[in-house]
Structures are given as C-alpha cells and as structure tokens.
C-alpha cells in the first residue's frame, strides 16, 4: 500500500462515484466531488474540520462552514462512497462500494494508513454469532488498530 500509483486509486474512486450516483439517481455536485477528491488525497482518514480547511485552501470559496462539510460527508456515507472511522472521528474513502456490509478497516497506529479488507470468513463468523443470539444485524463496524508491515520494517531498521 505504501508504494503504488495513487492516481489510479483516485481515478477509480471518482469513476465509481459517478456510476453510483447515476444508479442511485442523485447528483455528484462540484462540492461533493471536491470533498471526495480531498478525502482520496491519500489513504489516511481525515477529520471534518481538516477537510473544511482543505476545502477553503483548494477552492475559490471564501468561508466554508461545518454544515457544508458534514452534509456532504453524510451524502457520501449514505451512498457508500466513504466510511466514518469512529475510533478516530475521521473519514476515509471506501474502496469497494455497492456492498451489503462494511469491511474490516486495518488502521496503522504509526503512519495512519487505513486499508479496507473484505473478508468473508469474518463476516460469516459475525453472521453466525448474530443468528445464534437471534440478533438481526443492520450494520456493523470493525476497526483494527495496529502496525502495518512497512512501519514495522522501518522501526526494525531504526534500531
């Protein structure tokens, strides 16, 4: 994840966003696309107020207020284009929209990179546990904090 052509990630995300909005019959306005782009600048989750500042810097808007950002985030979440990372109060691009359930989020505590990893066996185990307790799942969040391999290697070479 650390070394890759990230422009491809951004392009794919924008392409998917346009498809999804078309399917759902909603508009990917300039504001929504701008914020989605900002979120996809890298693979780290970004806070709402940081996005607010980034939007002010990277557009010709004078002042951006919180509701502008939060409404847009709500829209993007609603249509599965981003995730809220609850353990960080931050937002990250979704790499696989059009899914029924959220994937596992692996969050590196050193570099902050967050990778969304689909995993059927985790989902199956959750579904089984839920059905055993006669619990009907509506949605779920699995956030895993730890160290990614590049950061472990870097730390090892430091010492």
Q: d(Cα 19, Cα 159) in Å, to the nearest integer?
A: 48
- Taking the least distance from each CB to DNA, the nearer of 122 and 142 is 142
DSSP SS3 for 77: helix
Does 18 sit near DNA (CB under 7 A)?
Answer: no
- Interface residues with its own copies (CB under 8 A) are 86-87, 104, 106, 108-109, 115, 117, 119, 121-122, 124-126, 128-130, 133-149, 152
Whichever of 89 and 153 has its CB closer to Zn ion, that residue is 153
Residue 73-92 contact track with DNA, rule CB under 7 A, x = bound: -xx--------x----x---
Using the rule CB under 7 A, give the single segment among 23-31, 99-107, 111-119, 141-149 that binds DNA: 23-31
Minimum distance from residue 132 beta carbon to its own copies (Å): 9
Give the C-alpha separation, 71 to 91, whole Å: 13
Task: Return the number of the residue (110 or 130) whose C-beta is nearest Zn ion.
Answer: 110
In terms of C-beta distances under 8 Å and separation of at least 24 residues, what long-range contacts does 62-68 make, across chains too?
Answer: 68/31
Burial 77-99 (b: 16+ CB within 10 A, else e): eebbbbbbbeebebbbbbbebee
Residue 31 engages DNA in binding (rule: CB under 7 A): yes
Which residues would be at the binding site for DNA (CB under 7 A)?
26-27, 29-32, 47-50, 61-68, 70-72, 74-75, 84, 89
């Amino acid at each position: 994840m650390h070394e890759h052509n990230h422009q491809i990630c951004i392009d794919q995300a924008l392409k998917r966003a346009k498809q999804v909005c078309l399917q759902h019959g909603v508009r990917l306005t300039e504001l929504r696309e701008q914020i989605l782009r900002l979120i996809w600048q890298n693979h780290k989750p970004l806070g709402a107020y940081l996005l607010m500042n980034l939007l002010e810097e990277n557009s010709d808007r004078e002042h951006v207020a919180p509701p502008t950002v939060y409404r847009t985030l709500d829209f993007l979440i609603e249509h599965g284009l981003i995730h809220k990372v609850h353990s960080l109060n931050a937002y990250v691009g979704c790499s696989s929209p059009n899914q029924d359930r959220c994937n596992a989020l692996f969050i590196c505590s050193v570099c902050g990179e967050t990778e969304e990893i689909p995993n059927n066996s985790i989902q199956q185990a959750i579904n089984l546990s839920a059905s055993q307790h006669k619990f009907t799942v509506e949605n779920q969040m699995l956030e895993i904090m730890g160290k990614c391999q590049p950061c472990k290697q870097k730390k090892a070479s430091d010492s």
